[in-house]
């Protein structure tokens, strides 16, 4: 693997820093706000349904999440949700966006090791301003040759990215926590992919079959384990 790779791509959320944990915390607070209208489990199902439906309009990320929470509140209350709760939902969204950027274990040390032998990039989904803010606060920006905040992570999105970087798929390695977004599309186009499972994953990012039989695929426990594969 290491003799063929020219560019190593990293997902950002839950690969470089904590993210999904904050969403789960915000969701729990959101469900509490609506207990007068709906139980938490049903509320969660409705929120997920609207989040997925709204991706086409709003994309991924915190702002889309907040709009979906507001729409959920209006629907489950049949339009009776008080303005005070809507305001609190907006506040929850702002609080989430302003959460501290906490790097996952050994991320910076791993990038420090890899930067000498590979061009490193970030390839992530999400809201543009939010992801730029997190990257700036992370202190990691200087390690990356290129930052790509993608509207989606499907085969065409990766092919467009690799064309822009002027490399072939077989010269690219993607590292991330989502099999659906970070791993399977890259393997499909002929690239290499390394999966680092995170303890919580958004339901929309789960895949039915996690068994991947591909010589270009590896699973590791921590980001620093990539050094054993590439050095």
* Level-2 CATH architecture, domain 20-97: Orthogonal Bundle (1.10)
pLDDT for 200 beyond 90:
no
Residue 221: which pLDDT band, with cuts at 50, 70 and 90?
A: very high
Residue 180 near residue 156, CB atoms below 8 Å: no
pLDDT for 2 beyond 80:
no
Q: Is 122 helix (H, G, I), strand (E, B) or coil?
A: strand
pLDDT for 206 beyond 70:
no
- Residue 61 has phi, psi (to 5 degrees) of 115, -175
The mean pLDDT of 29-34, rounded to a whole number, is 97
pLDDT for 147 beyond 90:
yes
pLDDT for 230 beyond 80:
yes
Cβ-proximal residues to 98 (8 Å cutoff; 6+ apart), any chain: none
pLDDT for 205 beyond 70:
no
What Cα–Cα distance (Å) separates residue 51 from each residue in 58, 70, 132? 9, 11, 22
Gap between the Cα atoms of 192 and 212, Å rounded: 12
Residue 181 tokens, joined: 């977004």
CA end-to-end span of the chain, whole Å? 10
Gap between the Cα atoms of 150 and 197, Å rounded: 21
Gap between the Cα atoms of 182 and 81, Å rounded: 38
Gap between the Cα atoms of 99 and 197, Å rounded: 22
User: How confident is the model at residue 198, as a pLDDT?
Assistant: 86
Residue 231: which pLDDT band, with cuts at 50, 70 and 90?
A: low
Comparing C-alpha atoms, which of 110, 138, 112 is closest to residue 124? 138
The mean pLDDT of 192-217, rounded to a whole number, is 79
- Residue 197 has phi, psi (to 5 degrees) of -60, 140
Strand partners, 9: 121, 174
Residue 154 tokens, joined: 């499907």
User: The pTM is what?
Assistant: 0.90
In the block, which residue shows the tokens 């905040």?
Answer: 149
Q: Does domain 7-17+101-230 have CATH number 3.10.620.30?
A: no
Determine the distance from the C-alpha atom of residue 216 to the mean position of all C-alpha atoms in its chain, rounded to a whole number.
Answer: 22
User: How confident is the model at residue 104, as a pLDDT?
Assistant: 97
Strand partners, 173: 8, 192
pLDDT cut 90: percent of the chain above it: 85
The full set of domain ranges for the chain reads 7-17+101-230, 20-97
In this structure, the number of other CB atoms found within 10 A of the CB of residue 8 comes to 22
pLDDT for 4 beyond 90:
no
The mean pLDDT of 153-176, rounded to a whole number, is 97
pLDDT for 33 beyond 70:
yes
User: How confident is the model at residue 3, as a pLDDT?
Assistant: 74
Q: What is the pLDDT of residues 98-134, one digit of tens each?
A: 999 999 999 999 999 999 999 999 999 988 899 999 9
Residue 89 tokens, joined: 């939902």
**pLDDT, the chain, mean:** 93
């Amino acid at each position: 693997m290491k003799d063929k790779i020219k560019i190593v791509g990293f997902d950002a959320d839950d690969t470089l820093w904590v993210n999904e944990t904050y969403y789960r915390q915000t969701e729990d607070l959101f469900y509490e706000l609506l207990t007068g209208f709906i139980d938490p489990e049903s509320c969660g199902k409705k929120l997920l349904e609207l989040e997925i439906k709204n991706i086409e309009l709003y994309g991924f990320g915190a702002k889309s999440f907040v709009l979906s929470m507001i729409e959920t509140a209006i629907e489950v209350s049949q339009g009776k949700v008080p303005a005070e709760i809507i305001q609190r939902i907006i506040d929850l969204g702002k609080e989430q966006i302003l959460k501290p950027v906490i790097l996952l274990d050994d991320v910076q040390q791993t990038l420090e090791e890899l930067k000498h032998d590979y061009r490193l990039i970030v390839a992530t989904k999400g809201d543009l301003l939010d992801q730029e803010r997190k990257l700036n606060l992370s202190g990691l920006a200087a390690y990356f040759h290129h930052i790509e905040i993608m509207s989606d992570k499907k085969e065409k999105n990766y092919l467009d990215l690799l064309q822009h970087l002027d490399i072939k798929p077989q010269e690219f390695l993607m590292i991330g926590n989502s099999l659906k977004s970070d791993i399977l599309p890259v393997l499909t186009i002929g690239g290499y992919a390394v999966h680092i499972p995170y303890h919580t994953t958004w339901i929309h990012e789960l895949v039915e079959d996690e068994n991947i039989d591909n010589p270009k695929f590896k699973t590791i426990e921590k980001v620093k384990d990539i050094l054993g594969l590439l050095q």
